[in-house]
Amino acid sequence: MAKAIFYHKDGSGYKDLRGKLYHFPKMYLSRVQQAQNDWVVYYGPLSGLPSRYYTGLAKVTGIRADDGLPDHYYADLTDYLDFDRPLDYRESGGYERQLVGPEGAVNSGRSVQAVRLISETEFAALITAGLSDADEWPQRVDPQEESSPETNPLMHFQIGEADQAGYLVGDYDRPIIASTINRPFRDAKFRQHIRRVYDRTCAFTGLRLINGRGRPEVEAAHIIPVERGGNDSVQNGIALSGTVHWMFDRGLLSLADDFTILQSRQLNEDISHLLVKDGKARVPAAPHLRPHPHYLGWHRDNFFKH
């Protein structure tokens, strides 16, 4: 097994679904096979931003041929989680030692590779930088829990001896991997990300309610629930206040692909007066942060009571 970088660009022509499906040509098959059952980090351009960024991580669970396109394959992915912020590939002197040299020069031969294997140390540095932002609006928790390794597995990041490539390694797997699979940690990160990209505002009502302690009342809703195979991508989430979240989870509300709010005929009364006046959910401006049509379609087909 080996950690890897997966290059992804929205609208590239490859049949990707961020965090669920990665489409790639045969030339990268051996590298993706090495990453099977291990973690990969997403990397690529973002709409409206000038550089290339590391944006999240996922685990490769399987590889299969694309029956409709010769010499192309799919990697099935799970456990996707967005980073707290996009990480510019040049910051901190560069996270990939073979991509950015000591003087800041970019290795052009390496940069064009869509799948790149990375060391455990490089992976650990990316995860630490990508998932260490404190929550601006944390939930109320016991102070002892808040400082425990179980609720904040990145606390005890340790550095040990050099690996074969000469990079420092240490007790990475326990704290880093624990943070990526720990459900309370992932729930907290998902909530943090959704509240941030929606500016603490309910997408359906337009309300931005803040309690007396400065915490937002808006909730982070998964479009496809985790227990039904949904991931923790912001594209599988939406910010909703408590009442409409309850209705969304029970299929009484849903969203069209153009973000028109759909009301079920099983509602015992019209609730349009509770919703934004134009009937269009307030979603982020950046396309990579908006609900993805794949998740919205699943919700309409599996949850929505037409």
Task: Convert the pLDDT of each residue in 197-239 to its tens digit.
Answer: 999 999 999 999 888 777 899 999 999 999 999 999 999 999 9
Kindly tell me if the per-residue pLDDT of 11 is higher than 60. Answer: yes
Evaluate whether residue 127 is within a structural domain.
yes
One-letter amino acid identity for 121?
Answer: T
11 in the same domain as 120:
yes
Give the three-state DSSP class for 2: coil
For residue 177 the two structure tokens come to 């991997």
125 in the same domain as 9:
yes
Q: Give Dmax over CA atoms of the chain in angstroms.
A: 67
Give the three-state DSSP class for 169: coil
Task: Convert the pLDDT of each residue in 38-94 to its tens digit.
Answer: 999 999 999 888 999 999 999 999 999 999 999 999 999 999 999 999 999 999 999
Model pLDDT, residue 225:
96
How much is the mean pLDDT over the chain?
A: 88
Q: Going along the chain, which residue ranges are E strands?
A: 3-7, 21-25, 39-45, 52-65, 72-88, 115-118, 219-222, 237-240, 253-255, 261-263
- At residue 188's C-alpha, the angle toward residues 120 and 141, to 5°, is 120
The pTM score is 0.88
Q: Going along 203-280, which residue ranges are E strands?
A: 219-222, 237-240, 253-255, 261-263
Model pLDDT, residue 16:
95
Evaluate whether residue 72 is within a structural domain.
yes
- At residue 171 the predicted structure's pLDDT band, cuts being 50, 70 and 90, is very low
Evaluate whether residue 288 is within a structural domain.
yes
Question: 244 versus 215: which is more confidently predicted?
Answer: 244
Model pLDDT, residue 1:
87
Evaluate whether residue 178 is within a structural domain.
no
- At residue 176 the predicted structure's pLDDT band, cuts being 50, 70 and 90, is low
239 in the same domain as 128:
no
In total, how many domains does the chain have?
Answer: 2
Model pLDDT, residue 282:
98
Model pLDDT, residue 148:
45
Q: Which domain holds residue 115?
A: 3-133
298 in the same domain as 203:
yes
Instruction: Please say which residue of 133, 167, 182 terminates a domain.
Output: 133
